[in-house]
């Protein structure tokens, strides 16, 4: 007899033995039986997985160098309060910081940094942004009434926000453990049979231009809430698009932004692979190996309307997607109204239910 390779029991991890009596492999610890062929296939899978490591590397470098004449037309402002730096063309005079509403000062000609590859020009003007803001505040019953009157809506500013865009083809190899359950019964017993499966999925999925906010002044969750931007309207970058708007320049490098893109791509890859495993009672992911190929990053400016307002010592930042009009921003809660609503609904519904109970008892 050929030397039996030692296998581990997929159910309990114990060392398996070949049982001559039943011509099968049987685990001496948990009594589970296996076909020899099944074990060989499982072993092959495990060996392949051991060779694979996650590889999430990006290859190409984004952006390009600025032309000298392009730089001449642009000036930089710096905010003395929050340290934010913004760029605009010579004709557009910036007065206040879009991030913190404090005055900004011109610090000189634009210099350094990469030139963006793409820009999505503003599609919605300031008027549209204001309208969106008011309609966003409408029908919010727990919004403090005075909040609307104390907001300086005119200070809403159009800012081109720097984004890193990541492209990648993802090769993934996933293994799941899945179960199917059968039940039946005879006159004495109810039986539950759980069948265990090893599920293998291997394949490729492509991602295009996953955006990561490249400005440290912009909260990442706020910018992600503004998604999606429609990249089909993007054009090759020209300084002319900056006229009348402010622009931020990246201060979070492409390398620092990678992790965020990786995390999102990994989540989506896992969920799209998981969606191909159907017809099982339970599915557990046992291993995943994700590798990127043709990783590519580009540098783009996306249009965002920004409004900062300070109310009772807290700063609230609102942003609108300058392309789609999607409006985001957390609003304060009027706790007085909160309790009024809670108690009146609790009392009203409670009284109504109690009245129905009485009606039911009396009829």
Instruction: Look up residue 360 and give its two tokens.
Output: 């039911």
Smallest gap from residue 73 Cβ to another protein (A): 33
Coil, strand, or helix at residue 277? coil
Q: DSSP labels for 228-262?
A: PP-GGG-EE--GGGGTTSEEE---S-HHHHHHHHH
Smallest gap from residue 3 Cβ to another protein (A): 23
Nearer of residues 235 and 352 to another protein, judged by Cβ? 352
Contacts of the segment 217-222: beta carbons below 8 A, 24+ positions apart: 217/82, 217/84, 217/99, 217/248, 217/251, 218/99, 218/161, 218/248, 218/304, 219/317, 220/260, 222/317, 222/319, 222/328, 222/329
Smallest gap from residue 123 Cβ to another protein (A): 18
Smallest gap from residue 206 Cβ to another protein (A): 4
Distance of alpha carbon 258 from the chain centroid: 13
Nearer of residues 107 and 181 to another protein, judged by Cβ? 181
Instruction: Return left, alpha or beta for 142; rule: phi > 0 is left, psi -120 to 50 is alpha, else beta.
Output: alpha
Smallest gap from residue 248 Cβ to another protein (A): 19
Nearer of residues 77 and 176 to another protein, judged by Cβ? 176
Smallest gap from residue 177 Cβ to another protein (A): 8
Q: Residue 118: beta bridge partners?
A: 236, 300
Nearer of residues 39 and 79 to another protein, judged by Cβ? 39
Nearer of residues 75 and 261 to another protein, judged by Cβ? 261
Torsion of CA 59, 63, 68, 74, to 10 degrees: -150
d(CA 319, CA 20): 71
Nearer of residues 103 and 203 to another protein, judged by Cβ? 203
């Amino acid at each position: 007899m050929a030397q039996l390779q030692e296998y581990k029991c997929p159910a309990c991890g114990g060392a398996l033995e070949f049982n001559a009596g039943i011509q099968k492999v049987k685990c001496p610890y948990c009594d589970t039986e296996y076909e020899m062929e099944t074990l060989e296939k499982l072993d092959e899978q495990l060996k392949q997985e051991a060779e694979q490591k996650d590889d999430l590397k990006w290859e190409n470098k984004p952006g390009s160098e600025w032309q000298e004449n392009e730089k001449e037309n642009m000036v930089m402002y710096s905010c003395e309060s929050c340290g934010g730096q913004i760029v605009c063309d010579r004709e557009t005079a910036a007065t206040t910081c879009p991030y913190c509403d404090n005055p900004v000062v011109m610090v000189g000609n634009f210099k350094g940094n990469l030139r963006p590859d793409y820009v999505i020009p503003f599609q919605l003007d300031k008027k549209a942004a204001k309208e969106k803001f008011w309609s966003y505040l409408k029908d919010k019953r727990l919004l403090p009434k005075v909040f609307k009157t104390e907001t300086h809506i005119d200070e809403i500013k159009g800012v081109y926000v720097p984004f890193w865009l990541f492209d990648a083809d993802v090769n993934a190899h996933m293994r799941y453990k899945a179960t199917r359950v059968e039940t039946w019964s005879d006159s004495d017993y109810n039986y539950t049979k759980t069948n265990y499966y090893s599920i293998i999925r291997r394949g490729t999925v492509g991602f295009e231009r996953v955006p990561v906010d490249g400005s440290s002044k912009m909260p990442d969750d706020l910018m992600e809430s503004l998604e999606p931007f429609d990249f089909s309207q993007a054009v090759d970058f020209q300084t002319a698009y900056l006229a009348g708007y402010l622009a931020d320049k990246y201060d979070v490098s492409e390398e620092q932004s990678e992790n965020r893109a990786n995390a999102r791509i990994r989540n989506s890859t896992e969920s799209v692979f998981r969606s191909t495993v159907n017809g099982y009672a339970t599915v557990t992911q046992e291993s995943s190996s994700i590798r990127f190929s043709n990783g590519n990053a580009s540098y783009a400016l996306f249009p965002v309307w920004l409004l900062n307002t300070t109310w009772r010592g807290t700063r609230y930042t609102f942003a609108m997607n300058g392309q789609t009009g999607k409006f985001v921003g957390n609003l304060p809660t009027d706790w007085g109204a909160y309790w009024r609503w809670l108690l009146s609904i609790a009392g009203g519904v409670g009284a109504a239910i109690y009245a129905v109970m009485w009606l039911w008892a009396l009829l």
